[in-house]
Structure 1
Amino acid sequence: MDPSNSAATPGGHPLETTIDDFLESGNKAGNYRDALERVLTQWRQRLEQRDIETVEEIDKRTMASYAQYLSRRVDAGKSRTVDGGITAATAWTYYDYVSSYLSYCVRWDYLEENPAQKGIALDELPPRPTNKSGDQQFWSVDDRQALLRYVDDRAHRAVDERGTGALEELRDRALSYVLAYSGVRGGEILADPRDERRNGLRWQDVDLENNQLLVLGKNQQFEEAQLPAQCHGPLERLETALEPSSPEWPVFVTSHAPSLYGVLPDDVDPSAGEPLELCRSHDIVPPSLSTNGGRSVLKRLCDEVDLEVDGEYLKPHGARRGVGEAVYRERGPAAAQRALRHADPRTTSEMYAHIEASELAEEVGDVFENE
């Protein structure tokens, strides 16, 4: 809908209508859109309780009041006896969502300026959390090699024992390799039950000849992600064992039997065979491993090999950061930006600021070496 065609009441533009217009604008989809809608709806309902129903009625006092409300929820989150608490990071996320909507209203001339960005309102929020770039988990060379040695050995032993029946071990191995070397996000290759567009990487989206995967990126657009040669062997071995009956099959099929049987038609006898055999014979596409399932796989593998980083198992996003870290150090920020598909080079720079600082310290030290 074109917001310029939205009917304005004599008192201004209705919040409900303009919020709907905002949600329909741009490329908002999936979990991001759902979160925006939920937060903005709750914010609007709070305002309506105070008889504020139009965009033009929003001012810095309105936003300061909302910031105070979020701060109270943060305080509640610090108490184990009070429900409804949130973290400071969540408070800022909610506030930024509302601010984004108000910026949209400014662009359409409903407001002259964004009241959410006034100091009197911002001062009511808790301090914005900051994370040093080097403090976030990433898979180091040792972490990566330890995990991949284990999944290689685990898959080889399973194949020796069960042949193509070692499907789960081959899947876990291929998943580990793709995460470890491609730099993709877990949500780009695994299914998210909250977002029907994110249904897992499909074999039709794997292009070994051109070393790439087609994934639904964070920006809700399909993108080509690089797929290094290290990933090819594990993927080819998995495909041979899986025998997908069509290119629409997910690469990382779930091993959850109820989910597999659940996609079969009612007239199929579950006792007639293994669920994947039945999917093949009836031309049914099985469900993909979910993002939660992928994290569970990594946690189980790390437990088995006694591998952890700061008390945590190796997480999918840590693999992505590990890819960026290695490329950044060896090939520089531009190469890391391309590998991670960051639209803005500042994102890459902020993510690996600790590397820049370390390298700069060495250069400065060399300058003063003879003093």
Structure 2
Amino acid sequence: MHSEFMHPDTVRETEQMDHSDSAATPGEHALEAAIDDFLESGNKAGNYRDALERVLTDWRQRLEARGTETVERVSKRDMATYAKALSNDDAKTAATAWTYYDYVSAFLSYCVKWDWLEDNPAQKGIALDELPPRPTKRSGDQQFWSAEVRKALLRYADRRAHEAVDEKGSAALEELRDRALVYLLAYSGARGGEILADPRDDRRNGLRWGDIDLENNQFQVLGKSQHEDEEVQLPRQVHRPLERLEQALEPPTPEWPVFATSHAPSLYRNLPDDVDPSAGEPLELHQKHGVVPPSLSTNGGRSVLKRLCDEADLKIDGDYLKPHGARRGVGEAIYREHGAAAAQRVLRHADPRTTSQMYAHIETEELAEETSEIFENE
């Protein structure tokens, strides 16, 4: 029957069937189309959506190589094979393996909801048995910058910046930038992804000088909700490192990033084609030609911290101080001194339960102390 003689609802149903069932047996749903539907459902956006798409695409390609091309044909054997591959991948931690597996399981639960599957093969015991033990997430086990390591890192960043200024004057931009970065992370409670650029999200292009308001002790970021800008507290400890960086950098417009990248190839690529790269330093050329340089990325920020920790000989269980550890350190200090409500405000948690879960170990410690006092005389 030609579509011009069909009822409009029938036409739409036929078009949806063509989309979902391409390259599939009649009545079945092609994995690729089903995954596309899943990604478009709900409020998936930003890095979370990108991660889902990347993991699900890899999983789909693995299954298609085994001859499984439709949702209805995904079996517990397929999932057991995938779980085993994740477990045997030395590049993935147990936490990462479980995260990837949970992404796939969420997609299959979506398929169950639409009656494309009777039940979720990812939740079968034979498949789950192939995964490593799921890591526990006790609040006290997660990295945080203690007062001791925070001071050690900041003192090293100070010394490194002072020595560079003595040697190079205002040209010590990288050292001044790195010091301002660690101070902002150490005291503001901001997320690394809120102040550094994320190559996978055009909206997260790094903190700008126009976002900073020293007079009112605050700066603005695109928060985790990604719906609107949020105001973040800016303690006085951070003011001087930011002011010194601004004096040396002399950003020509408020749109310049606070933490501009120092990666020369990236800077030169950002310049117009008619600019002679040999005519000066890359940031000077950006100023001269009115071009805004790219911001240091989140990966670049982690590299800076790793390098500083190595140079300062700071060892954190064989690891290095990470941006989110700084955020937890701020929350830990505020929680201990002023309680859960103050920590929630500083960390900008929408749900107070998030703060309580993050610092449950502190509540447990305090309860133990109170209980000990009650039974002191027994």
TM-score range, shorter chain: 0.7 to 0.9
> Which residue in 1 is equivalent to 2:175?
169
Question: Is residue 88–residue 128 contact of structure 1 (8 Å, CA) maintained in 2?
Answer: yes
CA distance in 2, matches of 1:236, 1:93: 41
Structure-1 residue corresponding to 2:308: 301
Contact preservation (8 Å) 2:80, 2:126: no
User: What residue is the counterpart of 1:82 in the other structure?
Assistant: none
Equivalent residue letter for 1:315: K
Letter in 2 for 1:267: D
Change over 3 Å in CA distance of 1:207–1:55 after alignment to 2: farther
Q: Is 1:205 matched with 2:221?
A: no
Which whole-Å CA distance do the structure 2 matches of 1:72 and 1:123 have between them?
Answer: 9
State the alpha-carbon separation in 2 of the partners of residues 21 and 104 from structure 1: 10
Q: Which moved more, 1:225-234 or 1:273-282?
A: 225-234
Q: How does 1:224-263 map to 2 (within 5 A)?
A: 224=230, 225-263=232-270
Equivalence for 2:376 = 369
> Are the structure 2 counterparts of residues 114 and 73 from structure 1 closer, same or farther at C-alpha, using a change threshold of 3 Å?
closer
- Between the aligned partners of 1:16 and 1:115, the Cα distance in structure 2 is 18
Counterpart AA for 1:193: P
1:73 aligns with 2:82: no
Structure 1 residues 151-166: aligned runs within 5 Å: 151-166=157-172
Deviates more, 1:3-12 or 1:262-271: 3-12
Q: Using the TM superposition, give the Cα deviation of residue 251 of structure 1 relative to its aligned residue in structure 2, in angstroms.
A: 0.6
Unpaired segments ≥5 residues, structure 1: 79-84
CA contact (8 A) 2:108 2:120 kept: yes
Match of 2:5 in 1: none
Query: What are the superposed Cα offsets for residues 69-123 of structure 1, whole Å, 9 maximum, x if unpaired?
Result: 1342245346xxxxxx744323211221122223444555656765544656545
Q: Which amino acid aligns with 1:76?
A: N
Identity, % of aligned pairs?
Answer: 74
Q: Distance in 2 between matches of 1:45 and 1:299?
A: 35
Q: SS of the residue aligned with 2:356?
A: helix
Distance in structure 1 (CA, Å) of the matches to 2:271 and 2:62? 45
Q: How does 1:268-307 map to 2 (within 5 A)?
A: 268-307=275-314
Contact map agreement 2:171 2:248 (CA 8 A) in 1: yes
Q: Tell me the distance in 1 between the aligned counterparts of 2:59 and 2:318.
A: 38
CA 1:108 to 1:229, structure 2 compared with 1: closer, same or farther past 3 Å? farther
| 2:262 partner amino acid | S
- Per the TM alignment, residue 160 of structure 1 is displaced from its structure 2 partner at its CA by 4.5
Please, which of 11, 16, 23 is the counterpart of residue 39 of structure 2? 23
* Aligned partners of 2:79 and 2:121 also within 8 Å: no
Name the amino acid aligned to 1:146: A
2:49 to 33, 37, 62: 33
Match of 1:81 in 2: none
Match of 2:104 among 82, 98, 103: 98
Q: In 1, distance between residues paired with 2:217 and 2:40?
A: 35
Structure 1 residue identity aligned to 2:85: R
SS at match of 1:289: coil
Deviation at 1:238, TM superposition (A): 1.5
Q: Distance in 1 between matches of 2:57 and 2:39?
A: 11
Please tell me whether Structure 1 or Structure 2 has the larger radius of gyration of its CA atoms.
Answer: 2
Q: TM-score, normalised by structure 1?
A: 0.84
The within-5 A match list for 1:115-154 is 116-117=122-123, 122-154=128-160
Equivalent pair of 1:200/1:288 in contact (CA under 8 Å) = yes
- Distance across 2 between alignment mates of 1:349 and 1:125: 29
**1:288, distance to aligned residue in structure 2 (A):** 1.5
Q: State which of 356, 359, 362 in structure 1 corresponds to 2:363.
A: 356
SS in 2 for 1:191: coil
So what's the TM-score if we normalise by structure 2?
0.82
Q: CA-to-partner distance for each residue in 1:299-330, whole Å, 9 max, x for gaps?
A: 33233333332233322222111111111111
Task: Name the CA distance, whole Å, in 2 between partners of 1:267 and 1:108.
Answer: 56
Whether 2:210 is the aligned partner of 1:190: answer no
CA distance, structure 2, for counterparts of residue 215 and residue 320 of structure 1 = 15
Shift in Å, 1:27 = 4.0
Instruction: From the superposition, tell whether residues 67 and 327 of structure 1 become closer, same or farther in structure 2 (CA, over 3 Å).
Output: farther
**C-alpha separation in 2, matches of 1:98 and 1:351:** 26
Change (3 A) 1:309 1:39: closer
C-alpha distance in structure 1 between counterparts of 2:145 and 2:268, whole Å: 36
Structure-2 residue corresponding to 1:266: 273
Helix, strand or coil at the partner of 1:128 = coil
